Amino acid sequence: MSTAAVTIRQDGTRCLGCDESSGWIWEAGRVLASQLLSIIDVRKLRILELGSGTGWLALTLAKEGAIVTATERPGALPLLTRNVYGHLDRIAKMSDDDAHLDEISVEVEQCKWEDETRVPGDFDLIIGSDLLYIVESYVPLINTLLLHNCKRCLLTWEERIPAEEATFLALASAAGFLFEPAMHIATNEVTNNPIWYLDMSFGSQ
């Protein structure tokens, strides 16, 4: 595993085709990293992250040995690409050989949920943090999970409009996902909003 600290750039600029939310590290992302690493050995685990934003979560998991594909919409892709490959470049410059670089496996891909275009690769786990703040994105999100043959999906989100977030759970259940009730796992100390955690599997898996 790499010992290099994950350093990324945050930029809340509103980009064409997306909002400014992709430019920040959100508390739900930190909570997801903590929860995932506490329950799963991620070494060699193939992870697809939806809505990667700054790339902080993808890099954090890759630092622990996961094989991560980080994805974003076209407008947010430049920041994600710059952060991920900039981090890899810094590791390469710190090392006399490629050994440390080989320990970090992160690829960046475009993924616009409405396009129903599959990201290359097979994945053991799909993750996402703070993806439920726009209700119109729920159906495309679920379709994206199905398109990628989702075996297991871990989500965290900060509570904003509970009635809408409950709609996502109903849609996911109707699509064939199985899960226990979402768990209140943390609280954002700034907004005082609950942060919820959901562990979903598809069908009988």
Q: What is the pLDDT of residues 136-179, one digit of tens each?
A: 999 999 999 999 999 999 999 999 999 999 999 999 999 999 99
Domain count of the chain? Answer: 1
- Per-state percent for the chain, helix, strand, coil, to nearest 5: 40, 20, 40
User: Percent of the chain scored above 70 by pLDDT?
Assistant: 81
The answer to whether residue 98 sits within a structural domain is yes
CA pair distance 59, 154, nearest whole angstrom: 17
State the amino acid at position 118 in one-letter form: R
The answer to whether residue 90 sits within a structural domain is yes
Q: In terms of residues, how long is the chain?
A: 205
* Mean predicted lDDT score pLDDT of the chain: 87
Structure tokens at 122: 């097979």
pLDDT band at 186 (very low <50, low <70, confident <90, very high): very high
- Boundaries of domain holding 106: 20-202
The answer to whether residue 4 sits within a structural domain is no
Q: Alpha-carbon Rg of the chain, whole angstroms?
A: 16
CA pair distance 149, 81, nearest whole angstrom: 25
The answer to whether residue 115 sits within a structural domain is yes
The pLDDT value given to residue 20:
45
pLDDT band at 15 (very low <50, low <70, confident <90, very high): very low
168's torsion region: left (phi>0), alpha (psi -120 to 50) or beta?
A: alpha
The answer to whether residue 123 sits within a structural domain is yes
pLDDT at 10 over 90: no
- Largest alpha-carbon pair distance within the chain? 54
The pLDDT value given to residue 203:
74
The answer to whether residue 7 sits within a structural domain is no
The pLDDT value given to residue 88:
79
The pTM of this model reads 0.87
The answer to whether residues 103 and 4 touch, using CB atoms and an 8 Å cutoff, is: no
The answer to whether residue 162 sits within a structural domain is yes
Structure tokens at 202: 């598809």
pLDDT at 6 over 70: no
144's torsion region: left (phi>0), alpha (psi -120 to 50) or beta?
A: alpha
Structure tokens at 94: 């710190």
Lowest-confidence region among 25-39, 83-97, 145-159, 189-203? 83-97
Lowest-confidence region among 73-82, 99-108, 119-128, 172-181? 99-108
CATH number assigned to the domain comprising residue 102: 3.40.50.150
The answer to whether residue 190 sits within a structural domain is yes
The pLDDT value given to residue 11:
55
| Residue 6 CB coordination number (10 Å) | 19
The pLDDT value given to residue 69:
98
pLDDT band at 201 (very low <50, low <70, confident <90, very high): very high
Summarize the confidence of residues 35-45 as an average pLDDT. Answer: 96
